[in-house]
Structure 1
Amino acid sequence: MILKTRQRYKSDNGLAYIKSGSGSPIVLIHGVGLRAEAWLNQVPLLSQQHTVYAVDMPGHGESDLLANRDAGLDEYVDAIATWIKNEINAPVIMMGHSMGSMIALNFAIRYSHICSGVAALNSVYRRTFQAKQAVQQRALEMVSNTAVDNVTTPILRWFSKHPRGFEKQMADLCEQWLLAAPATGYARAYQIFSQNDGPEDDALKGLEMPAIFITGDGDANSSGHMSQCMAELCPNGRYAVIENSRHMVQMTHPDEVNQLLAEFVQQCGTHIRSQA
């Protein structure tokens, strides 16, 4: 499947993004190695009543690398927060997938005054020792060897062993994006992803806004138990596990995910009105 690349806007600090619809703002952040089009199945629904901004993570798609070679998760979040303050200038509902969920949660915790809700898809929380070793080894290989295969292995983790039909189309798209991903941006982001293990418990306990955690029942590295643990720490948290899915739930199971996100957006609106 070939998907036409959507036209981007470019911010003063080098972030590229797609903008659709009108209404209160929603910001979408993709995972490592991908691009804003990873939300292709959510943008049409969400933009019916909202202005939806799908962002290319720094060093991905058409977004510039951060100038600081040693930038960590906070610096990625700060770049997006600066863009939100300058471009949107209003509280946003933040949604992120995989590393994008790390960014979304960090943003919600550190910039809660401009975040009215957070959705974290396929997010990690307290990896096992073995999982930490595996992800950090993959990150080390990416940084030290530009010839390492950064396409085949992720596709095998993210999708069924022999995807067919619609799932095969989505897997083919992800393969195209991974092949085209800027090597340096991909490697730097994956290194940050490997070094982070989810928000601190106290930070989740202090997250007063609505929060939803969604993952696939076949995603061993971002398990349903992880999502449940984070949701139960949040005062207004909930979680959902999509059956017969793996890491790319928003792409492979859009109907189930979109229903959950639509309900969540309504919850955010109710929460905002109750706080007024």
Structure 2
Amino acid sequence: MMSKIPQRSKSSQGLAYVKVGTGPSLVLIHGVGLRLEAWLNQLSELAQHFTVYAVDMPGHGGSELFPECHDISDYTDVIAGWIQNDIATPAVIVGHSMGSMIALNLAIRYPNECAGVVALNSVFRRSEEAKKAVLSRVAQIKQSITADNVTAPVKRWFDFPLRGEDIQNAQLCSEWLSKASLDGYRQAYEVFCFNDGPADEDLTSLTVPALFATGRGDPNSTAKMSEAMAELCPQGSVYIVEDARHMAPMTHADELNPIIIKFGQQCFDPKEEVSHDHA
């Protein structure tokens, strides 16, 4: 784990980000209510192979709120504009949870800016029961957004009772969520809940390599969802992390980081032979 996050830079658009490492560009996009510190367990290792840009989503961390962000494509346009202006080279886009929805939308709509995409713990075609649950949470947040219902997702993200490093991981997530901008959280969470994943035709026409990974125990971003998306993509692959839930990038970094590194290297050098188990 990187003990300290470098000082954030600010784009002309108002996005806050950090830049570490050297090599081809790789972008990290976190999920709803979190901040770029959610990639603490990735930054040091990925920076040994890539120039890593970890960004605060609009309305999160040090990034300004973008009132015009009403759906995934709006968030994508903001991130894509930042990549075009501040990175100016194609990047592997790695997203977690809502960040994975943005990453996939970017790969679909901005292929010139994307060398490959990694979707971690992503959602695709929720069950009717899951749809009812997220719509109920949206209604609750619209009615009254409080620190308690902002931090409630932590109970779904980790196995309870907490043990070992998960105690600290859950505490960090609770801290980030409790300090999140309520307006930024409300705006992003509604977008997240009303998005059910990319259209099938967009996945079947995706022109860049795509890796889908999730935790076997994630009840909302299930293994079947990742497997279904990978199956649709011409260059799709899938990796399922056993004994992991929604925060797999944080809890199982030692397992996922080498997978992300090998995938990224293959995106920039197709001669690299890398396979991903359909675990």
TMscore range, shorter length:
over 0.9
Structure 1 residue aligned with 2:26: 26
- 1:39-188 matched pairs, under 5 angstroms: 39-68=39-68, 71-147=70-146, 149-188=148-187
Q: Tell me if the contact between 2:32 and 2:98 (Cα under 8 Å) persists in the aligned partners.
A: yes
SS in 1 for 2:18: strand
Q: Tell me if the contact between 2:123 and 2:220 (Cα under 8 Å) persists in the aligned partners.
A: yes
Structure 1 residue aligned with 2:10: 10
Alpha-carbon distance between aligned partners in 2 of 1:50 and 1:5, rounded to the nearest angstrom: 17
What is the identity, as a one-letter code, of the residue corresponding to 1:116? A
Alpha-carbon distance between aligned partners in 1 of 2:227 and 2:195, rounded to the nearest angstrom: 18
Q: Tell me if the contact between 1:143 and 1:188 (Cα under 8 Å) persists in the aligned partners.
A: no
Q: Tell me if the contact between 2:213 and 2:238 (Cα under 8 Å) persists in the aligned partners.
A: yes
Are residues 1:236 and 2:232 paired?
A: no
Alpha-carbon distance between aligned partners in 2 of 1:189 and 1:94, rounded to the nearest angstrom: 19
- What do the CA deviations read for 1:133-184 (whole angstroms, capped 9, x no partner)? 1112112211221236234421110001111111111111101101101111
- What do the CA deviations read for 1:175-219 (whole angstroms, capped 9, x no partner)? 110110111100110000000000001110111211100100110
SS in 1 for 2:201: helix
SS in 1 for 2:171: helix
TM-score normalized with structure 1 length: 0.94
Alpha-carbon distance between aligned partners in 2 of 1:272 and 1:113, rounded to the nearest angstrom: 20
Counting aligned pairs with the same residue, the percent is 52
What is the identity, as a one-letter code, of the residue corresponding to 2:58? P
RMSD over aligned CA atoms reads: 1.6
What is the identity, as a one-letter code, of the residue corresponding to 1:254? A
Q: Which 5+ residue runs of structure 2 have no aligned equivalent?
A: 274-279
Q: Residue 29 of structure 1: CA displacement?
A: 0.2
Q: Tell me if the contact between 1:210 and 1:271 (Cα under 8 Å) persists in the aligned partners.
A: no
Alpha-carbon distance between aligned partners in 1 of 2:11 and 2:130, rounded to the nearest angstrom: 36
